[in-house]
Amino acid sequence: MTTTTIITAGSAAEFLSLLPRMLGFRPRRSLVLVPFARTRTLGAMRLDLPADDDDAEAFAATCVGMVCRVASADSVALVVFDDAPFDADGTPPRDDVARAFVSKADACGLAIVDALCVAADGWGSSVRPELSPRPLAELAVGPSGAELLAEPDGDQWVGCELPEVDSTDAAAVESALAALADAVAVLCADAPARDETKRVDPRALEAAVGLDDLPALFERMLEWDASELEPFDAATAVWCLSRPALRDIALVGWTAGPQLGDEALAAQLRWEKGEPYPAELAQIMWGEGTQPEPARLLRALGVVRAVAAPAPEQHRAGPLAVCAWLSWALGRSTHAESYAKRALEADPEHGLAEIVLSFVAAGHLPDWAFSRS
C-alpha cells in the first residue's frame, strides 16, 4: 500500500523553508517553478538563471511553456534564488526574470501563486512589495510535517560526484575487464586470436556466460548492492555499457520493463541484418512513451554510478553517458550535464553523451517529466 503525506505551508516563509526539502537540495543561482493543480503541488522544476545580459523575456517564455506542459497545472509559484542582495529600494535581485515570467504566464492564462525571491540578505516577493525584504531567519522554521523530509546538505550539484574508490578496487576491476575479454574470446568463435596457453579465469567465464541473456542480466543488475560490487560484476557492466547496441537494450529494459528489454534485443539483432528499428522502441530513448517507474531508474543509476567509479579511464565514457541519460530521464538535467561532460572528457566523440548534452542545452526534457503516474 502506498501512503501520501500532505504537508501544508501556511505562509510564504513556510513554503520557502519547505522547498529545499522538496527538491532535495538548496538551489543556487536558480529559478524554481512549482506548478499547482488547485492547491496541490505537482513537483518542481529548477533552471539556471540567465546571464544578466541575456533576454529575460525569451527565457521567461521558455519557462512558461514548460509549466504549460505539466498535466493539470492551473497555477504556478516561482522562486528566484540568487547570491546578490536586495537593491536599496527593496527590489529583489533578478526581478526582471520574475516580472517577465509573471507577464508571460498571465498571457497564457496561468495563475501566479506567488513570485518569491531568496537573496543573500533576505527574502521577499516581486508581486507583494510589503514582504521585501524579510530576514532569512524566518525561513528556519518549516511547516508541521516538514521534518519528514530530509534536510538537504548541498546545492543542485550534490550527488554528481562518483563514489570514491581506492586504487586496489580500481585495479581489480581493470584486471577483471581484461580477464572477461579473454573469456569472451574463448566463447566466441569469431573472436580475435588469443594465446591458447593462457589460463582463463573461471570467474570471467561465468561472467561471459551471463552475457547469453542480456535482458535478464540487466534485470539482475537492478538488484546488485551498489556499495559492494564484485569486480567481475562491475567489469561485466562496464563491458556492456561501453557497447552502444548492448547499452541501448539496458536503457530500454530499465525504462520500460523486462519485456521491452527482450523486444529491444530482438530488434537490435534484426536491425543488424538490415531491418528498420521499431519506432516504439526508439522513442523511449528520446523520452517519449509511457512514464517509467522512477524507482527502477534510480536503482539503475545507483549501480551505474558505482560501476563508473572504478572503471579504467579508457572504459569510463560508456557508464558515464548512461549515468547522464538516466539522470536526464529522471528530470535531473543538472546532473545529466555533469555526467555527459565527463563522458566527453574520456571520449570526445561519444555519441550518447553528445545527445544528452544537446538535450540539456536545448532545455529538452522527456515527455514523462510533465505527467504524473
pLDDT at 61: 94
Residue 148 confidence (pLDDT)? 62
Residue 3 has pLDDT above 70, yes or no: no
Using CA atoms, how far residue 37 sits from 24, 72, 107, in Å, is 22, 6, 18
pLDDT score of 363:
85
- d(C-alpha 109, C-alpha 86), whole Å: 30
pLDDT at residue 194 is higher than 70:
no
pLDDT for the residue numbered 6: 61
Whether the pLDDT of residue 364 is over 80: the answer is yes
Is residue 86 within 8 Å of residue 93, measured between CB atoms? yes
Q: Which residue type does 244 have?
A: P
Residue 1, pLDDT score: 38
Q: What is the pLDDT of residue 306?
A: 97
Asked if residue 299 has pLDDT above 70, the reply is yes
* pLDDT beyond 50 at 266: yes
- pLDDT tens readout for residues 165-192: 999 999 999 999 999 988 888 887 655 5
Quick one: pLDDT at residue 336?
96
Contact 176, 204 (CB under 8 A): yes
**319 to each of 157, 300, 347, how far by Cα in Å?**
19, 11, 12
pLDDT digits 0-9 by tens, 337-359: 999 999 999 999 999 999 999 99
In terms of C-beta density within 10 A (0-12 exposed, 13-18 middle, 19 or more buried), how is residue 273 classed? Answer: exposed
Position 2 confidence tier, pLDDT thresholds 50, 70, 90: very low
Asked whether the predicted pLDDT for residue 193 surpasses 60, the reply is no
pTM of the model: 0.87
Q: What is the spatial distance between Cα 136 and Cα 115, in angstroms, rounded to a whole number? A: 17
Q: How far is CA 209 from CA 174, 183, 219, 233, 366, in A?
A: 19, 9, 16, 12, 35
Q: Return the pLDDT at 154.
A: 87
For the chain, the average pLDDT equals 90
Q: Does pLDDT of 311 surpass 90?
A: yes
Quick one: which of 367, 363, 368 has its CA closest to 64? Answer: 363
C-alpha cell at 319: 557508464
All three cell numbers of 62, joined, read: 521558455
The C-alpha atoms of residue 337 and residue 356 are separated, in whole angstroms, by: 7
Between 20-24, 115-119, 169-173, the lowest mean confidence (pLDDT) is in 20-24
Pick from 211, 217, 238, 219: nearest CA to 300 = 219
pLDDT value at position 105?
94
pLDDT digits (tens, 9 = 90+) for 206-265: 999 999 999 999 999 999 999 999 999 999 999 999 999 999 999 999 999 999 999 999
* Count of alpha carbons within 13 angstroms of residue 234, beta-carbon side: 27
pLDDT for residue 135 is more than 90? yes
Domains along the chain with CATH numbers: 12-148 (3.40.140.10), 167-369 (no CATH)
